[in-house]
Amino acid sequence: MLGHTAAKLITTPIISTQIRCLSVLSGIREQIQNELQLIKDAGTFKHERVITSPQAARVTIQGRDQPLLNFCANNYLGLSSNSEVISAAKSALATHGAGMSSVRFICGTQDIHKELEKKISTFHQKEDSILYSSCFDANAGFFEAFLNEDDVIISDTLNHASIIDGIRLSKAKRLRYKHMDMDDLEMQLKDNQKSRRRLVVSDGVFSMDGDITPLKDILFLASKYNALVFLDECHATGLFGKSGRGTEDYYDVIGKVHIINSTLGKALGGASGGYTSGPKEIIDLLRQKSRPYLFSNTLPPPMVAGASKVLDILMRSSQLTEKLASNTKQFRDKMTSLGFKILGANHPICPVYLGDARLATGMAEDMLNRGIYVIGFSYPVVPEGQARIRVQLSAVHSSEDVDTCVNAFAEIGKSKGVI
Ligand SMILES: Cc1ncc(COP(=O)(O)O)c(C=O)c1O
């Protein structure tokens, strides 16, 4: 038993430490509240709508009785709620469990992980592939593992945030070329001939503008200046090109890009997961050195089986990619003939260009009130004065769904003097 004095000596510092901790936290809370207020004042605070149905052409959201026609998901092929994909995921849950409780190299590699990697390689016509928990992780884990201070990365200025972050982690010399500017790229390739390795890095499709990287020119310059090409195909894999094999397919150069990073979280079932696909030695090296692969958990079996089923569906028929291409053409043609400016080319990301941020937000709100779910994008997500509503088509939209969306744009656009 402690005497009265001893107990006092022990409890006093504990109480005063607790009080100090609380006052430190309350100071920090205030700083963060100020920071959040600045974000709100700048009009860039992001609110999240709560969906109460599966991801699909029509979704229900909290606070609204009627379902909304959904034109803002990356569910390009509508496979997020496809019955074959769901039943493949369910049976993997039964046969392989809910999760692996391990990273790959300790005891987290199942037969289905190896099968999926093989299917991805076949799909992209590459030698090997490696799975990650997301494409963000694949991008975070690639550059640092593959390149060092003797190498140079030349990256498109509008590449995705995860590429930018991944490149920051690498010790290679980091250069950027102006968006899709081949003269600038050539100049930088020419200037860096002494580096051990040169890597040109680009998104296949840029998600804010729906524009497509000039892949043939990039491949030409890469071969002229002895460089490798890395493509992020998140908005292309499964949906773009005749057979859905992405930007390589669109330009008819399947198999020519050296390294492809992509996601399982958009067209390929929409759950989660990413991968790198490329030459065997590079993939072998990533398995040894890539930190998100080495130090993060394996993809859970239901996700692996779901993505594997999606690849089976894609490799047996091009019906979904054809339907998506036809919906995209219908939307782009009709909107353009109404007088709207649609950015990008031939891709289901169809940004309806408006310029003014308030106009974009107001029109997106009016569309929502007509039962159509679209989102307005403004600064800083896109450059100032270049606000737009980004519409994304899906293969599960019917032709009537597309017309409903176009008609709503027509009515609202006329009432606001846009067309
Ligand atoms: C171009 C691009 N790269 C990478 C990612 C990250 O993919 P994931 O959701 O699999 O992490 C995204 C997702 O928005 C993307 O659009």
Strand 152-156 versus strand 173-177 pairing type = parallel
Indicate which residue of 113, 119, 124, 235 is catalytic. 235
Give the DSSP H or E segment for 162: helix 161-168
Same domain, 95 and 175: yes
Is residue 235 part of the annotated active site? The answer reads: yes
Same domain, 87 and 154: yes
Among 258, 292, 316, the domain-final residue is 316
Indicate which residue of 96, 124, 126, 266 is catalytic. 266
Among 288, 316, 344, the domain-final residue is 316
Is residue 240 included in any domain, yes or no?
yes
More confident residue, 33 or 24: 33
Among 292, 316, 340, the domain-final residue is 316
Is residue 27 included in any domain, yes or no?
no
Residue 2 pLDDT > 50, yes or no?
A: no
Dist CA 343 CA 360 (whole Å): 14
Same domain, 179 and 224: yes
Supply the mean pLDDT for the chain. 95
Residue bearing the CA closest to ligand 1, atom 14: 234
For ligand 1, what atom is nearest to the CA of residue 139? Answer: 4
Same domain, 88 and 172: yes
Is residue 13 included in any domain, yes or no?
no
Residue bearing the CA closest to ligand 1, atom 13: 234
Dist CA 135 CA 276 (whole Å): 8
Is residue 159 included in any domain, yes or no?
yes
Same domain, 283 and 348: no
Dist CA 141 CA 121 (whole Å): 19
Is residue 331 included in any domain, yes or no?
yes
Same domain, 113 and 203: yes
Q: How far is the CA of 416 from the centre of ligand 1 (A)?
A: 34
Residue 19 pLDDT > 90, yes or no?
A: no
Residue 12 banded pLDDT, cuts 50, 70, 90 = low
Same domain, 380 and 300: no
Neighbouring C-beta atoms of residue 220, cutoff 10 Å: 13
Same domain, 106 and 146: yes
Q: How far is the CA of 57 from the centre of ligand 1 (A)?
A: 21
Q: How far is the CA of 328 from the centre of ligand 1 (A)?
A: 21
Distances in Å between the Cα of 222 and the Cα atoms of 212, 260, 319 are 18, 15, 34
Provide the domain count of the chain.
Answer: 2
The domain spanning residue 137 has which CATH number? 3.40.640.10
Give the model confidence (pLDDT) of 376-402 as tens digits: 998 888 989 999 999 999 999 999 999
Q: How far is the CA of 325 from the centre of ligand 1 (A)?
A: 22
Same domain, 90 and 167: yes
Residue 22 banded pLDDT, cuts 50, 70, 90 = confident
Residue 6 pLDDT > 80, yes or no?
A: no
Q: Which alpha helices (H) appear in 226-318, and where do they start and end?
A: 247-250, 280-289, 291-294, 301-316
Same domain, 102 and 149: yes
Q: What is the mean pLDDT of residues 12-38?
A: 84
Residue 3 pLDDT > 80, yes or no?
A: no
Is residue 89 included in any domain, yes or no?
yes
The domain spanning residue 384 has which CATH number? 3.90.1150.10
Is residue 266 part of the annotated active site? The answer reads: yes
Is residue 18 included in any domain, yes or no?
no
Same domain, 132 and 97: yes
Same domain, 235 and 362: no
Residue 9 pLDDT > 70, yes or no?
A: no
Domain of residue 389 covers 58-71+319-415
Residues with CB under 6 A from ligand 1: 134-136, 139, 160, 162, 203, 207, 232, 234-235, 263, 265, 274
Residue 4 pLDDT > 80, yes or no?
A: no
Indicate which residue of 133, 134, 170, 207 is catalytic. 207
Give the model confidence (pLDDT) of 97-107 as tens digits: 999 999 999 99
Neighbouring C-beta atoms of residue 78, cutoff 10 Å: 20
For ligand 1, what atom is nearest to the CA of residue 207? Answer: 16
Is residue 387 included in any domain, yes or no?
yes
